[in-house]
Amino acid sequence: MSFDFKTGTIEALSSIDFKTSSLTADPQTGRLYILDKNGQIRTDETLTDKKHKMKLLAKRGLVLREIRFNQSGNLLALIGRHRSESRYKLMTFDFKYDNLNEHFEGGNIYRNLNWSGSSGLISVTHLNKPVFASDIRIFDWSGKHIIDIHSDTVRLSQAVWGNSSSRLVCVGQSATGYSLLKFKNDGQLAEVLIKSNDPVFEPFFAGNNQKLFFFTKNSEQKMQLWYIDLEL
> Phi first, then psi: what are they for 30, rounded to 5°?
75, 5
Exposed e or buried b for every residue in 108-122, given b needs 16+ CB within 10 A? eebebbbbbbebebb
Using CA atoms, how far apart are residues 44 and 187, in angstroms rounded to an integer? 40
> What confidence category does residue 94 fall into, taking pLDDT thresholds of 50, 70 and 90?
very high
Per-residue pLDDT at 2 exceeds 70: no
pLDDT at 140: 94
Contact 43, 34 (CB under 8 A): yes
Count the alpha carbons within 13 Å of 88 in the hemisphere toward its beta carbon: 15
Using CA atoms, how far apart are residues 149 and 26, in angstroms rounded to an integer? 29
pLDDT at 21: 54
In the chain, residues under CATH classification 2.120.10.30 are 111-232
Mean pLDDT within 183-198 = 96
Mean pLDDT within 130-138 = 85
Residue 54: in which H helix or E strand, if any? helix 54-58
CATH number of 111-232: 2.120.10.30
pLDDT at 52: 65
For the chain, give the mean pLDDT: 86
